[in-house]
Amino acid sequence: MDGAKEYGLRNVSSHCSISEMDDYDLSKLLEKRRINTERKRSFDDRSLSELSIGLLRGLDHFDSSYSPLRSVVDSPASSDQNSFEPHPMVAEAWDALRRCTVFFRDHPVGTIAAYDHASEEVLNYDQVFVRDFVPSALAFLMNGEPDIVKNFLLKTLQLQSWEKKVDRFKLGEGAMPASFKVLHDPVRKMDTIVADFGESAIGRVAPVDSGFWWIILLRAYTKSTGDLTLAETSECQKGIRLILTLCLSEGFDTFPTLLCADGCSMIDRRMGIYGYPIEIQALFFMALRCAFTMLKHDAEGKEFAERIVKRLHALSYHMRSYFWLDFQQLNDIYRYKTEEYSHTAVNKFNVIPDSIPEWVFEFMPKRGGYFVGNVSPARMDFRWFALGNCIAILSSLATPDQSATIMDLIEARWEELVGDMPLKISYPAIESHEWRIVTGCDPKNTRWSYHNGGSWPVLLWLLTAACIKTGRPQIARRAIDLAENRLLKDNWPEYYDGKLGRFIGKQARKYQTWSIAGYLVAKMMLEDPSHLGMISLEEDKQMKPVMKRSSSWNF
C-alpha cells in the first residue's frame, strides 16, 4: 500500500473510531468488543471472549439525556475560538503563555512552569512539568494548535523508556517524569533533555499523577483533533500499557484504591495525604476510563481492557460508598460503633467518631457533600480537596446526584472555598500542633498558604469544567470575574494566601504558566462549552452504586 493511500485509509478509520469514542458507555464499548471478538472467534482465544461476555452481565445503557453537550467532533475547535467578547486579559494571557514555550530541536514540546525573572531562586520552575502542561495543552487544543501537544506526548513517551533510578533502586518501567528540562548547547548547537522522575525532586517522591495526566491528555488530543493515529501507534499503546501495569499490579491491597506516598501529585510536599489521596484516586479512575477508550482490540489490549473494567467496578463502588460525605453520612459516622468484627461491620474501617474534627460539623451544609481526602484503617481525612472533587465530576466517578451535591457545597461554602480568589486547593488549613506533626514543620506550608489551604488560580479551569458539566455556568462566571479582578494586575501568581485568598502567596512565583493557561481554558470553555468533551466522560450506568448511603443527595 502506498503512503498516501495508507494515510487516506487511516484517516477514514480515525473518523469511525472517534465517533466510537463519543460513545462513552463502557457497556456499549464492551459490547462492540464482544461483537468484534465473536467475529474473530476463529483467531481468538475462546475463553477470553467468554470472559468479556461475563463482564457484560448486568450492564445498563447510558442515559444520554444527562449530557447537554455537543460533541467536540461535531464542532471542531478553530483558531478563532478566542475571538469573541475578548477581555483585555485574554490577549495578554496568550502572549504570556506563548513566551513560556520550550523548544527541542526547533519543535515546541511544552511550556515551562514559570517565567519569573524577578525570583532569585529558579529551583525547577524552568522545567516542563507534566501536570502543569495539561492546562497549556488544553488551551492550545481549544485554539486549534495541536502540534505542541502531540510533540509533548511523544517526547514524554520517549522519557518513559529511560531507566529510572533513585540511588541504587530502579523505578517501575512505566513511570512518567514529573518534569523535564531542555538544555541548549550553543557551541555544539545541540539540544539535550534531562528528566526528573522523583530522583531530584524535593522529598524524592515519584509523581503518580504524571502517567494518569499523560493518558488523559492523549485522549483529549484524540478527541479534539479526531486524529486517532497517534493513540494507535504501537509506541503509545505500549506507553498506556506500561502505565496500567504499574497501577493495576496485584499486591497486598485489600482496597481497589491506589496506595501512595505523601506528595506524589500536585501537592508535592508532605501534607498528610499519604495512603489513598482523593486526587490520585480520581485521576486513576479517569485515566482508566480514558485508556479503555484508546486501547486497541488486539490480544494485549483486550486483556488490559478486561482488567480495567473489573477495577473500575470495584473502585467506583469503594469511592462512592466510603469516600462520600454529606450531612446524613456525617451523622451516621458520628454515631458509629467501633471494634466491629466480621462481614457485618457497618464501620468497616473502624473510624473512631472522636476523630471527626470539630470544623466538619460547622462546614457541612444541609444540602451539599464531597469526597473526603483519604480513607484508610481508622483514618478518615475529612479535608476537602478541589482537584479530586472536580476530577470526580469530570470523570463521572461522582454520580450525577453526587456531582450536583458537590456543586451545592461549593455554592453553600463559597466564602470558604472560593473567597476572593478561586480556588482553595484544600480546606481547611492545618495549624499549630497538627501542622507540626503532619507537615514536619514545613515553613512553606504554613496555614492558609501554598498546599495548606492556599488558593490556586490554576484550579479555575477545573472548577469551570465542573460547573459546565453540572449545568451551572453562572458559578464559573462568578469565579472567572474574581480572577479577572486580580490575576493580570498581580502578574499571574502561582497561589494566594489567607483565609479568603486575598494575598499574593508568600513564596508564589509570578507568571506561573498554569495560572495563565488555566484562565484561558476557563474562558474558552465558557464561551464554547463543547470543548468540555475533551476533558469529560459521561456517566456509565453500570457503575451505579448498589446502595445509596444517604438521602441528602437524592433530591
Query: Read out DSSP for 485-546?
Result: HHTTTTT--S-EESTT--EE-TTPPSSBHHHHHHHHHHHHHHH-GGGGGGG-----GGG--S
- CB 390, CB 368: distance < 8 Å: no
Q: Which residues contact 196 (CB under 8 A, 6 or more apart)?
A: 124, 127, 177, 178, 179, 180
Helices marked H in 364-491:
386-395, 400-412, 414-417, 432-439, 459-469, 473-486
- CB 136, CB 458: distance < 8 Å: no
CA–CA distance, 240 with 223 (Å, rounded to integer): 16
Identity at 336, one-letter amino acid code: Y
Q: Least distance from C-beta 343 to ligand GLC, angstroms?
A: 40
Measured from the CB atom, is 273 or 309 closer to ligand GLC? 273
Q: Which residues contact 474 (CB under 8 A, 6 or more apart)?
A: 467
The yes or no reply on residue 113 touching ligand GLC (CB under 6 A) is yes
Supply φ then ψ for residue 537, to 5 degrees: -125, 140
H/E run at residue 66: none
Measured from the CB atom, is 268 or 528 closer to ligand GLC? 268
Supply φ then ψ for residue 205, to 5 degrees: -100, 135
- Choose, by CB under 6 A, the member of 129, 284, 292, 324 that binds ligand GLC: 129
Q: Least distance from C-beta 520 to ligand GLC, angstroms?
A: 17
Measured from the CB atom, is 263 or 369 closer to ligand GLC? 263
| Cell numbers describing residue 229 | 493515529
Q: Least distance from C-beta 235 to ligand GLC, angstroms?
A: 25
Q: Least distance from C-beta 191 to ligand GLC, angstroms?
A: 22
Measured from the CB atom, is 215 or 475 closer to ligand GLC? 215
Q: Least distance from C-beta 114 to ligand GLC, angstroms?
A: 6
The span of 3-11, 35-43, 127-135, 416-424 binding ligand GLC (CB under 6 A) equals 127-135
CA–CA distance, 513 with 93 (Å, rounded to integer): 9
Measured from the CB atom, is 199 or 235 closer to ligand GLC? 199
Measured from the CB atom, is 269 or 413 closer to ligand GLC? 269
The span of 126-134, 230-238, 317-325, 346-354 binding ligand GLC (CB under 6 A) equals 126-134
The site for ligand GLC, by CB under 6 A, has a size of 6
First to last CA, the chain: 59
The yes or no reply on residue 531 touching ligand GLC (CB under 6 A) is no
Measured from the CB atom, is 493 or 529 closer to ligand GLC? 493
The yes or no reply on residue 132 touching ligand GLC (CB under 6 A) is yes
- Choose, by CB under 6 A, the member of 131, 219, 241, 531 that binds ligand GLC: 131
CA–CA distance, 473 with 533 (Å, rounded to integer): 15
Q: Least distance from C-beta 485 to ligand GLC, angstroms?
A: 23
The yes or no reply on residue 497 touching ligand GLC (CB under 6 A) is no
| Cell numbers describing residue 198 | 522523583
Q: Least distance from C-beta 420 to ligand GLC, angstroms?
A: 21
Sign of the Cα torsion 524, 526, 527, 533 reads: positive
Measured from the CB atom, is 196 or 268 closer to ligand GLC? 268
Long-range contacts of 166-175 (CB under 8 A, 24+ apart): 166/198, 166/199, 166/204, 171/197, 171/198, 171/206, 172/245, 172/246, 173/242, 173/245, 173/246, 174/211, 174/239, 174/241, 174/242, 174/243, 174/244, 174/245, 174/246, 175/206, 175/210, 175/211, 175/246
Q: Which of residues 252-291 bind ligand GLC (CB under 6 A)?
A: 266, 268
Q: Least distance from C-beta 172 to ligand GLC, angstroms?
A: 21
Measured from the CB atom, is 205 or 406 closer to ligand GLC? 205
Q: Least distance from C-beta 88 to ligand GLC, angstroms?
A: 26
Measured from the CB atom, is 268 or 539 closer to ligand GLC? 268
Q: Which of residues 389-448 bind ligand GLC (CB under 6 A)?
A: none
The span of 129-137, 291-299, 481-489, 542-550 binding ligand GLC (CB under 6 A) equals 129-137
Q: Least distance from C-beta 113 to ligand GLC, angstroms?
A: 4
Secondary structure class of 185 (helix, strand, coil): strand
Measured from the CB atom, is 265 or 399 closer to ligand GLC? 265
Other beta carbons less than 10 A from residue 145's beta carbon:
15
Residue nearest to ligand GLC (CB): 113
Q: Which residues contact 415 (CB under 8 A, 6 or more apart)?
A: 500
Sign of the Cα torsion 58, 63, 64, 68 reads: negative
Measured from the CB atom, is 280 or 407 closer to ligand GLC? 280
Q: Least distance from C-beta 421 to ligand GLC, angstroms?
A: 17
Q: Least distance from C-beta 127 to ligand GLC, angstroms?
A: 8
The yes or no reply on residue 469 touching ligand GLC (CB under 6 A) is no
The span of 124-132, 300-308, 357-365, 404-412 binding ligand GLC (CB under 6 A) equals 124-132
Measured from the CB atom, is 266 or 468 closer to ligand GLC? 266
Interacting residues toward ligand GLC by CB under 6 A: 113, 129, 131-132, 266, 268
